[in-house]
Chain A
């Protein structure tokens, strides 16, 4: 069983896949809680016959002993049930994320697991060192959105973890906001790929509009966007303005933004502002 904090989005709105979670920790106590949560997450995958993959920064020094509660680590490793990577295997040891390469690695990893008879891949990924420089954040957000799409298409379930002390609280919030599942004190909303579109859920007020802008800005620049906003439990004037501006800008480039199944909160704001199709994309 996962800790209760992971059920944050299930109670509201669109059936979001559980496949992409984010855990932000900022103290030793929270890091221990993350370890416990990660173990529970991996144990759940093991029960489902998934291959477990742990990617971590060497400075975290996650070793077989840490994973012992899962079972006989040596035997699991020999069977190919458990794979441990140093982050350096996936990237050149920090620096702006090698986006395409990492996506390809994840893709291959899922294919290989299935070919070997596992039902899928369950991945815990400590990626703080990928964003210790705030300038890398946008690229990393784009990568996270790609992963969000990947977990929809592939038998892949992934938990990303970030050390707030290393990446800073703003970057941590920005990263959390593109995950369907977020640890309790991180961003109060999420924007991430869902089946048939882009899910927008949670609460966005003027204190978070910059995060929302960031998250929207990392979407692929072309093509139509269908927003599933059934789970947008709270939206204020500032947040609605950001969404309207996002839609208007995409419309200028010929990329339509549709909002399907808007929550009552968002529909009310749209009505109050009198937004129309031409001004703010199509509102279904």
Chain B
């Protein structure tokens, strides 16, 4: 069955899953006769049972409050820390609905931090480390997708949602809900949410997502396809050891021409230089650089013959005394959007900067 039945009154089914017994198993006894595999989503899971990554579909701020506030309150009552990384609008709605309980919930704006979704996993990782207590779970709300995201960003949000399953597979006490506002997001986007979430939570009822392909092999996650590149804005250039100073000068000039501020142009130069250096040192000694404009952004793409098998490359905050391996993390920090893909056929990285 499809977990996305648009005729439901989303977020309004708190009475839905009475019949459910244990988490993850068949709930049975549904109230409309066709929810054979739904289960009681709120009481069936406890810390240590395994990472839960669930989508929540809601309609508008009221729907968000109806869907999430009872879940938050239940967590607080159990002593679980609750962290929300959501849009400003969702954050406001949650804060006002939570009343005095808001002081016990950490609500953060996802807007600037999550513009590049590749920065989000390290935030969750830090939250897990900070809040980890024996026998307790961390309840987290992550809203990486909001109306107005560009098509390029949405491709990356979906990739991020898929990576979450790999990133926290080792984290049995994290319960992460990803709210999607179905009243404002495109239908085709909502229809794909089940491919990156093992289950959907509707009120207290859990529905397994039939189209979730299962946990991918870690080395294959970075093989997610990218949209084909448009016509390049400028000539391709071959990247090798001797070209880096010239390459940096060229990128800086192009970035300023495109309308980036001096500071952001410098950040883009840093990002392209890091990636070019990776191509030279780890990607077979050569790379190819292309540039184009997409969704109003200036985009650089580096291609090389390297094969990166770590699906979380650049998504972990480097340790203070770490010697290498900071480059891609840095690229994720400074760019508005980063698309990192790799397979046995090579590595492609695209960095996007908006003109500001």
Residues of A in contact with B (beta carbons under 8 Å apart): 188, 203, 205-207, 234, 236-238, 241, 245, 248, 264-265, 268-269, 272-275, 279
Residue of B whose beta carbon sits closest to that of A242: B323
Tell me how far the C-beta of A221 lies from the nearest C-beta in chain B, rounded to whole angstroms: 21
List A contacts of B333 (CB < 8 A). Answer: 272
Interface residues as binary, B269-307 with A (CB distance below 8 Å gives 1, 0 otherwise)? 110011001001100000000000000000000000000
Q: A234-B248, A237-B274, A265-B266 are in contact. Are A206 and B326 (CB under 8 A)?
A: no
- Ranked 8 nearest A-B pairs via Cβ: A237-B326, A206-B277, A237-B327, A237-B330, A279-B320, A205-B244, A205-B277, A188-B245
Question: Does more than half of chain A's interface fall in helix, strand or loop, or is it mixed?
Answer: helix
Is the C-beta of B104 less than 8 angstroms from some C-beta in chain A? no
Q: A206-B327, A236-B277, A264-B266 are in contact. List 12 more A-B contacts (CB 8 A).
A: A188-B245, A205-B277, A234-B269, A234-B270, A234-B273, A236-B273, A237-B326, A237-B330, A238-B326, A241-B322, A273-B318, A273-B320
CB within 8 A of A236: which of B318, B321, B323, B327? B327
Interface residues as binary, B167-198 with A (CB distance below 8 Å gives 1, 0 otherwise)? 00000000000000000000000000000000
B273→A205 contact, CB < 8 A: yes
Is the C-beta of B324 less than 8 angstroms from some C-beta in chain A? yes
A207→B281 contact, CB < 8 A: yes
CA distance in complex: A207, B273 (Å)? 11
Is the C-beta of B241 less than 8 angstroms from some C-beta in chain A? yes
CA distance in complex: A236, B322 (Å)? 15
B244→A238 contact, CB < 8 A: no
B281→A236 contact, CB < 8 A: no
Which of the listed residues B241, B244, B281 has the most CB atoms from chain A within 10 Å of its own CB? B244
**16 A-B contacts (beta carbon < 8 Å):** A203-B248, A205-B244, A205-B277, A206-B274, A206-B281, A207-B277, A234-B245, A234-B270, A237-B327, A238-B326, A241-B326, A264-B263, A264-B266, A269-B270, A273-B318, A279-B320
List A contacts of B326 (CB < 8 A). Answer: 237-238, 241, 273
Is the C-beta of B161 less than 8 angstroms from some C-beta in chain A? no
List A contacts of B329 (CB < 8 A). Answer: 237
Residue of A whose beta carbon sits closest to that of B333: A272
Is the C-beta of B40 less than 8 angstroms from some C-beta in chain A? no
A207→B274 contact, CB < 8 A: no
Residue of B whose beta carbon sits closest to that of A235: B270
List A contacts of B318 (CB < 8 A). Answer: 273
CA distance in complex: A81, B321 (Å)? 55
CB within 8 A of A241: which of B274, B277, B280, B324? B324
List A contacts of B266 (CB < 8 A). Answer: 264-265, 268
List B contacts of A273 (CB < 8 A). Answer: 318, 320, 326
Is the C-beta of B349 less than 8 angstroms from some C-beta in chain A? no
A207→B267 contact, CB < 8 A: no
CA distance in complex: A245, B267 (Å)? 23
CA distance in complex: A241, B330 (Å)? 12
List A contacts of B277 (CB < 8 A). Answer: 205-207, 236, 238
Q: A205-B244, A207-B244, A264-B263 are in contact. Are A238 and B273 (CB under 8 A)?
A: no
CA distance in complex: A206, B270 (Å)? 12
CB within 8 A of A268: which of B267, B280, B321, B323? B267
CA distance in complex: A282, B288 (Å)? 39
A241→B248 contact, CB < 8 A: no
Is the C-beta of B334 less than 8 angstroms from some C-beta in chain A? yes
CA distance in complex: A237, B275 (Å)? 11
List A contacts of B321 (CB < 8 A). Answer: 248, 279
CB within 8 A of A207: which of B270, B280, B323, B334? B280
Interface residues as binary, B307-336 with A (CB distance below 8 Å gives 1, 0 otherwise)? 000000000001011111011011001100
CA distance in complex: A264, B265 (Å)? 12
CA distance in complex: A237, B322 (Å)? 11
B327→A238 contact, CB < 8 A: yes
List A contacts of B280 (CB < 8 A). Answer: 207
List B contacts of A279 (CB < 8 A). Answer: 320-321
Residue of A whose beta carbon sits closest to that of B252: A234
Residue of A whose beta carbon sits closest to that of B248: A234
CA distance in complex: A62, B241 (Å)? 35
CA distance in complex: A248, B319 (Å)? 14
B248→A268 contact, CB < 8 A: no
Tell me how far the C-beta of B236 lies from the nearest C-beta in chain A, rounded to whole angstroms: 21
Tell me how far the C-beta of B122 lies from the nearest C-beta in chain A, rounded to whole angstroms: 12
List A contacts of B263 (CB < 8 A). Answer: 264, 268
List B contacts of A205 (CB < 8 A). Answer: 244, 273, 277
Which of the listed residues A206, A238, A268, A272 has the most CB atoms from chain B within 10 Å of its own CB? A206
B281→A241 contact, CB < 8 A: no
List B contacts of A274 (CB < 8 A). Answer: 320
List B contacts of A265 (CB < 8 A). Answer: 266, 270
Interface residues as binary, B223-248 with A (CB distance below 8 Å gives 1, 0 otherwise)? 00000000000000000010011001
List A contacts of B245 (CB < 8 A). Answer: 188, 203, 234
Which of the listed residues B323, B326, B327 has the most CB atoms from chain A within 10 Å of its own CB? B326
Tell me how far the C-beta of A17 lies from the nearest C-beta in chain B, rounded to whole angstroms: 24
List B contacts of A272 (CB < 8 A). Answer: 330, 333-334
CB contact list, B7-31 vs A, under 8 A = none
Which of the listed residues A203, A238, A245, A279 has the most CB atoms from chain B within 10 Å of its own CB? A238
List A contacts of B324 (CB < 8 A). Answer: 238, 241
List B contacts of A264 (CB < 8 A). Answer: 263, 266
